[in-house]
Amino acid sequence: MRVAVLSESPADEAAARNLVDGILGTTTARANLPPLRTRGWPSVAQVLPIVIKHLHFRTDADALAVVVDANASTVHVRTHEATAGMDQTCRLCRLQSAVGATLGQLKPVQGRDTIRTAVGVAVPAIEAWYLCGRDPGVSEASWLAALSSRKPPFTKSQLKKDVYGTDRPSLALEKSRAAEETRRIVEEGLIGALEKTFPGGFGPFALAIRSW
């Protein structure tokens, strides 16, 4: 299977690919994205339709995985999936809506199936996923429980220090640690634990990938 990965940085994309392979239980081939000028949440949201069309019409990609950080945005919950339940402040809702709208615009290509997709949103950042199996205090539940009091149990800066040893890691260090931790999660059989710990952001991602 040829899979493209779109995320906020090359390190995040490498991590997401390891998780995709872990969920599928196989090593996927890389499908190239179109050239991207910038990264980060605003860019991913903006270029997503362009990326889907590029993969559909100009490549032989089978699937696209998208992963972004939640930051302080609304955490995805099941009620968002009800009829007219989409929440514009939820990044997973917004990305899934953009995916659906774009796929609906695509004209069939002979010999090609519709590209498969999966969207994940890391709460509050992808470094939280890396700590699965290491720090039981880092979870969507603990994040949600503290949001109302405005006293989060951890911050993005703290997560970075826990993962990288610094809150200002180099890209090389980010790539190295992202690869190490996601490989550990897969090798230790923690994909299921990651789903339970981050059901709103990682759960839909894993569920979609298993349907590929």
Q: Judge whether residue 146 has pLDDT over 80.
A: no
- Give the pLDDT confidence score for residue 85 in this predicted structure: 60
How many structural domains does the chain have?
Answer: 1
Which range of residues forms the domain containing residue 124? 2-210
Question: For residue 153, what pLDDT band results from cuts at 50, 70 and 90?
Answer: confident
Task: Mean pLDDT check: name the lowest of 23-32, 72-81, 131-140.
Answer: 72-81
Secondary structure of residue 124 in the 3-state scheme: coil
Mean pLDDT of the region 172-197? 97
Q: Judge whether residue 127 has pLDDT over 70.
A: yes
Tokens of 132: 């699965």
Share of the chain above pLDDT 70, in %: 96
Phi and psi (nearest 5°) for 206? Answer: -65, -40
CA torsion sign, 7 to 13 to 18 to 21? Answer: positive
Diameter of the chain measured on Cα atoms? 54
Question: For residue 165, what pLDDT band results from cuts at 50, 70 and 90?
Answer: very high
186, 194 Cβ separation under 8 angstroms: no
Mean pLDDT of the region 157-164? 95
Question: For residue 84, what pLDDT band results from cuts at 50, 70 and 90?
Answer: low
Task: Mean pLDDT check: name the lowest of 12-26, 36-50, 155-169, 182-196.
Answer: 36-50
Q: Judge whether residue 51 has pLDDT over 90.
A: yes
- Give the pLDDT confidence score for residue 82 in this predicted structure: 65
Model confidence, pTM? 0.92
139, 198 Cβ separation under 8 angstroms: yes
